[in-house]
Structure 1
Amino acid sequence: MKKILVINSGSSSIKFQLIKMPGEIVVASGLVEAIGLDNAALHYKSKKMNFFEIMPIENHEVGLKKVAALLLDEEKGAIKSIEDIDAIGHRVVHGGKDFSDTIVIDAEVKKTIKRLFSLAPLHNPHNYTGIEVAEEVFPGTTQIAAFDTAFHQTLPEKAYRYAIPNKLLDENYIRVYGFHGTSHKYVAEKAKDFISKKKSKLITVHLGNGCSITAVKNGKSVDHSMGFAPVNGLVMGTRSGDIDQAIIFYMVNTLGYSLDEVSEVLHKKSGMLGLTGYSDLRIIEEKAAEGNRECQLALEMNAYRIKKYIGAYAAVLNGVDAIVFTAGVGENSSVLRKLICDDMSYLGIELEDYKNNVRSSENRIISKETSKVLVLVIPTQEELEIAKDTYRLIN
């Protein structure tokens, strides 16, 4: 059995799991959330104990060092020494044209990940920090990178190309890369348990602080809402999703924004935050229930955008067997799932309200028995998917 530590450094959080492979036994797990705020939270769970503490966590480096200290702690920890870790698997968002599969990290891989910062500014820098800190805390341990873009390498050319001059693809590699691939791949595989036929047409909906939707045909990604960088597509926590590109020219040429300021707005000040002042959907739902019109409208806009993509991908797939909701918001927000699925009977989508309102960590059906399209909630396990790939490389 190999012990693999999986580190998933997101835009404002760090998820981690210590997993024994190939048995898929989780020895320890946890979450650092709300990084950068005074009320950041550290969750930790092992066979020995559960641990939770509210504390200021300035940045990802501080958070990762606290995680390492917990794993090695004599009382709370799950390992006796750093030698107990056989490999560390890192989630890396953008692999560009360079990486189509999981890979052992060396100096050249790190250099490329760093070069891709501009394509995923909310993620790749934090992913890179995770690698750097892990190398410092666990020297000599094999480090593995698993890329969110890898699952979407199966996109057909008609889907991944933009209608721009050919040389921008041929010379500059500007194309759709796609993201959240580890999550979409995992839930698409799990959805097979609910579908009797061998061939399947799925629409997987990953809703968290970052959001994306994928058309999956027979286990392969064939279309995806994010593109060259993870800012377009659905409405997200702080990212705009789809906008008319002419707005960028208007902001620069007429309103006087610099390009860096436009990037800051679209990546960090837009989405649900820009619409409501909040990026946490739990708070937005609470405010909406209290009658806050801005929050109500933001939820409606969020759901409306997802509906449009579901319709488009049903056309791309020529039908759909199941819609799968996953990730923090997709798994837990019955409000948003209902807004999305309401008035979709033309496509054969019928939500069962009492099933939708049940909170559960189980893979489950939330559609009516009469629904022609299954509606599923499947909690994503990106860390387990990364552990599988990591084990494959070191074994």
Structure 2
Amino acid sequence: MNIAPVFKALRRHKTAVILIILQIAVCCAILCNSIYVIKARVDRMTRLSGVAESELVALQTANLGDAYRGPGADAAIQRDLALLRGLPGVSATTMAGQFPYGSSSWGTSIGLKPEDDAHKFEVSMSMAGPGFADTLGLKLQQGRWFNNEEYADQAKGMMSQIDYPVGIITRSLANRLFPAGDALGKSVYLDKSPTRIVGIIDDLMRPDGFQDSVHSYDSILLPVKPRYGSYLLRVPSLDRGRTLAAAETVLLKADPDRIIVGKETLEEMRHQRYGRDRSVVWLLVIVSLCMLAISTCGIGGLVSFWVQQRTKQIGVRRALGATRGDILRHFQIENFLIVSGGIVLGMLLAFGMNQLLMAKYELPRLPWPYLPIGAVVLWLLGQLAILGPALRGASISPAIATRSA
């Protein structure tokens, strides 16, 4: 088909064509960035935490009694854990300072040499007391768990004031520190003292919900008995709500001065953690659908108007031998050229919008594959938008066009 008549027809409607191109360009820019942000948020929400989420409940307490201070604090905590383990349906318990979706998070720098600040990695640091691994459902890939004699008491000082002869790291951190795969038995440095890696576990997500999914599993477990934090209970049965209520009753009975700050299942904590992400996803989905609907209506309305304007012209072409397919292809090519112009401009706008998001919201650079995805969506919608009006135009007979003259 000769494309020259198509360009000639478009030049006669410059203003309308330019407006549609601008509309498609804005839609393309918003669509490409929205798809990218939506995918990033969905990937973040669907990350595996590395723990038995469906079986865990947490009680955060403020222990105000004298029994939880001084040298007898560990005995008081162990008494609480024993009471909680005695509840029906509870298979394991532990005191945890931090865990996935929790409100507390500790970080540290780790390196392969002492005081080598230039080559250190920022990681999450968890106090893994007795029962921590069994309660959370952590899986050991290599090495061993901590021995009883290796546990230190948090009462000895702040986390930064305790030496850690041994530690357990996640597989992601092991691959990052030792790409050759020989992390087990090697030493890392949190400060001047070496910490020997005695075990490697499956990935355990950082409590802070690290935005960068590449490093969201960089964690090290240290053998420390925490003095404060949350009581975690592993409850394989489905009645976790009743177990939470029973656990609260038991703890308050053991120490009436205690305050229960919060009690939730880990699934509820996960839902709350990703609440903002879900809102962003739905907002962008609605905005994208609205932009697509506006663009589709604009294209369809313009073609309908052109069909009415060109009734006589279409009839003349039909009388000169043009088939219905020729008329239909004319409108399809016309639409393809308009949408393509909008897509080219929209790709430039998409990169500009992404640069703004990078500067304001620390968003990563927009990967190029999202541009053809947006282009294909707009091309398909453009063709669907003009299908009805174009078919009506193609159905105009030479006789009707002649009478309208």
TM-score with structure 1 setting the length: 0.19
TM-score with structure 2 setting the length: 0.19
Higher strand share: 1
Higher-Rg structure is: 2
Larger RCO of the pair (alpha carbons < 8 Å, separation 6+)? 2
Higher helix share: 2
